[in-house]
Structure 1
Amino acid sequence: MRRNEEQKRDESGRPDRRTVLADAAIGVLADLGVRGLTHRAVDAAAGLPAGTTSAYLRTRQALLTALVRRLVELDQGELHTMGERVSIRSSGELADGIGELMRRRLSGDGRRRSLARYACAVESVRDPELREILVPRENASRAAVRAFLAAQGVSDPDGRTATLLACVDGLVFDRLVCGGEPGADEIQGLVAAALRGAASR
């Protein structure tokens, strides 16, 4: 979906102003980093009059919180959609799904969201409120991975799912910093590690 199609609408059908500001803040954070995230920069990115962001999100904390909530909302929407349309019946299909997710997170708007997400993750080390919002949540993709691992007879499918997805996240971070895309062998290696010791049913 395009960003404007994902935005919430107010009663008149226009994009919700707080959502517009949060989306603009994600872009500012991705492009300028944490130090560049100011109310004035968000106003400019959103194409709104000076002072609009501070009227809706008065403090920097309020701005960061709105930004992180929007990031989680967009990520969850993407993961729900992917999980609902992909059925995982083999390790190859799991690797393909992971590869698709990584490509989304490393290109276009997905790349900008990833940059913003990792910047927020660092901020959350000193901010329990942000950390709580960023805690991994249940979604259709996570459930599909867990169900597949359980069907293969792995021990502790919940733990294996969490570890696999944390490794995927780390590989995305590495490619954001170092460039390039994950190779098929790297993704297959992560899947093989998650399936280690499996006893197929």
Structure 2
Amino acid sequence: MSSDRRTLLADAALDVLADDGIRGLTHRAVDRAAGLPAGTTSAYFRTRAALLTALVRRLVQLDQEELQLMGEQVLVRDPAELADGIALLTRRRLTGEGRRRSLARYACAVESVRDPELREILVPRENAGRAAVRDFLSSQGVAEADVESRSATLLACIDGLVFDRLVTGGQVSREAIEGLVAAALRG
């Protein structure tokens, strides 16, 4: 089976999930979104669980690629630069294609509460963005024993702000980001 076709179907499934929510994610809806004949999705992903797993794997792949690229492009030498990088990420997660992926990501996160396989795929992975936050905190004198937990807390707070803005509208303010960076430095 073609991995290109699987990727096309996983991308179409992401679109369906972003547009129609978890209840709208069906094989037939994915076929329509991909512009393929009825039955194509079920030929590649026999069950809804298999389709959802493929969607989540693709989502994580796209997120990892985005974070890797950002990690290569964004320098983090001081609190302002870290806030700049976080602001860029939140804008990407709240607009355009990033917004669609965010909507799909949160729907999958809720679904993973009842599905250990999905939960395992969605567990935060090592990536350039996470490493940049840890390296920054270390370079600012945060005790090595605290770096991992402060990094995780900062990233979880950013994730929560993105979720809140998806629900309520608007962008994450620069002041909120700067406050979270300052809190991560203070402990």
Question: What TM-score, normalized to structure 2?
Answer: 0.96
Specify the alignment match of 2:10 in structure 1.
22
User: Equivalent of 1:150, from 133, 138, 149?
Assistant: 138
- Structure 2 Cα separation of the partners of residues 180 and 105 of structure 1: 12
Aligned with residue 129 of structure 2, among 125, 130, 141: 141
Q: CA deviation at 1:158?
A: 1.0
User: What do you get for the CA RMSD once the two structures are aligned?
Assistant: 1.0
Task: Report the equivalent of 2:77.
Answer: 89
Q: Which amino acid aligns with 2:184?
A: A
How many residues align? The count is 184
**Any idea what the Cα deviations from partners look like across 1:30-78, whole Å, max 9, x if unmatched?**
0000000000000000000000000000100000000000000000000
Hey, what's the Cα distance between the residues in 2 that align with 1:61 and 1:75?
21
Deviations along 1:71-124, whole A, 9 cap, x unmatched? 000000000010012120000000000000000000001000000000000000
- For the pair 1:79 / 2:71, whether they are aligned, the reply is no
> How far apart in 1 are the matches of 2:95 and 2:110?
21
Q: What is the letter of the counterpart of residue 154 of structure 1? A: V
- Look up the match of 2:169: 179
Residue 190 of structure 1: aligned partner: 180
* 2:56 is the alignment partner of 1:68: yes
The reply on whether 1:167 has 2:185 as its aligned counterpart is no
- 1:150, CA displacement in angstroms? 0.5
Kindly report structure 1 stretches of 4+ aligned residues shifted beyond 6 Å.
none
Identity of aligned residues (%): 77
- Matches of 1:54 and 1:150, distance apart in 2: 48
Residue 154 of structure 1: how far off its partner (Å): 1.2
Matched, 1:54 2:49: no
Query: 1:127-151 CA distances to partner (integer Å, 9 max, x unpaired)?
Result: 0000000000001111111001011
TM-score (norm 1): 0.90
Relative to its length, the structure with more helix (as a share) is 2
Paired residue secondary structure (2:142): coil
